[in-house]
Amino acid sequence: MISHQTILLLGNYRPTLTLARTFGAAGHRVIVGMEGCDGGAEFSRFTNESWNHPLIGEDEGAFLDALENYVREQRVTLLFPVSEEFVTLFVRHRKRVERLVPIAMVDPDLVRSCLDKISMMERVTRLGIPCAPFAMVRTPRQLREQAQSIGFPLVVRSERSTCRLDGKKALTIESEQELAWLLDIWPMEETGLIIQRQFAGRRYNVYFAAHNGKLIRHVQASILRTDNPDGSGLAVEGLTIEPISGLQDYTEWLAADMNYTGIGCAQYLLNEETGAVSFLEVNARIPGNLNVPEAAGLGLSPILMQLALGEEPDQTFVQGKSGLRYVWVSGEMMAAIVNYLRNEISFVEMLRRGLRAVRSGIGADLHMVFALHDPVPGYLAMARLLPSWSGFVRRVKTKLGLPSDADSSQVEFRS
């Protein structure tokens, strides 16, 4: 049993709330950093306090200086980088942060390996794990040549997992004409592109923990719906399932080949008609929908804590519970609003998706944000969907043909 810890969670988004609830209920002191794409964990009744620190995107040095002072002043005993931005920051500044206190994260060398998407796809190909044809491109000429070689339609994403293309993690390119459009929005000075032949199939997540290359925790989830109309993006509804043996085998092969210790989420596409599979990636960090494996009984976050503090986790294999249907209602509703504002869906479709999210939420076994025993973060997540008063007035003025103080296409949301 791990004694009382003071835990600093960095990167305030969905899984941060799950971590706060898990560690707070276990009697640990929980501090939440305020920077993050979702926010809300600071309002949990299991959070003891929050820290409004310098933004890492603006000045990494200022953040690291502030972190050193804060850890010392607050007597923090465990750092928990939650979001990918903080995980990669800790990888870049490994020596500096490791001097502070124990850090609950997968070994930085493993993180670096998993972030190298091309090397991972080459690895799985060597291991005999199916993977759709792919290439890395860094110039317009390479893009055109590889597109012709691989063939349309293509799925295109940045080599940097935190970089977005037209606001999305991945784009589908159907033709030469769309390839020209891609060249217009590609920030070549920032990132290369991974292009891959589109594979028709549903996404499956394999949540796992491994110790010295051997799986000790495992549960699979089928992604039923995402926050993008094209099926890419973040999962907003899913279902834990009885294990598909092939996906478990592939994950075991990868864990063994990498001598993996820690937690992770392997992702695959599965064509349910043909049984064909294509590897996507392995995320060597806290998964976005952490609530899923935790509710299924895996206990991934305590395992990461144990490893950080030098304790051996129980290595008895645990297969997670199947049949849990989970939803992220506020995420789906916010995505529908954003898709509408980007002219990707109609107003009617936005309303339809919003109602579908509510219906799904009523019958779900598990919510990513809302919890009856800790309701405030869930209420506030829904409140963020409401436009601010200034945004409402601006849109009314636009409808009436009156002068507005700002561009009416810019909608403000409460945060």
Q: What is the pLDDT of residues 127-159, one digit of tens each?
A: 999 999 999 999 999 999 999 999 999 999 998
What are 264's strand-pairing partners?
208
Are 81 and 189 found together in one domain? no
pLDDT bucket at 413, cuts 50 / 70 / 90: very low
Are 333 and 395 found together in one domain? no
Could you tell me the sign of the dihedral formed by the alpha carbons of 329, 335, 336, 341, in that order? positive
Are 204 and 349 found together in one domain? yes
Mean pLDDT, rounded, for 163-177 = 86
Task: Flag whether 1 is in a domain.
Answer: no
pLDDT bucket at 38, cuts 50 / 70 / 90: confident
Q: What is the CATH number of the domain that holds 185?
A: 3.30.1490.20
pLDDT of 341: 87
| Domain-ending residue, one of 146, 175, 197 | 197
User: Tell me: the pLDDT tens digits for 340-366?
Assistant: 888 888 999 999 999 999 999 999 999
Are 35 and 114 found together in one domain? no
Are 249 and 334 found together in one domain? yes
pLDDT at 388 over 60: no
Tokens found for residue 102? 């124990």
pLDDT at 217 over 50: yes
Are 123 and 243 found together in one domain? yes
Give percent above pLDDT 90 in the chain. Answer: 80
Task: Flag whether 400 is in a domain.
Answer: yes
Are 171 and 246 found together in one domain? no
Q: Which domain holds residue 36?
A: 6-105
Are 63 and 141 found together in one domain? no
Q: Number of folded domains in the chain?
A: 4
Are 265 and 347 found together in one domain? yes
Residue 69: partners with Cβ closer than 8 Å, 6 or more residues away? none
Taking each helix axis from N to C end, the angle separating 84-92 and 108-115, rounded to the nearest 10 degrees, works out to 120
Are 376 and 395 found together in one domain? no
Are 243 and 376 found together in one domain? yes
pLDDT at 378 over 60: yes
pTM of the model: 0.89
Task: Flag whether 60 is in a domain.
Answer: yes
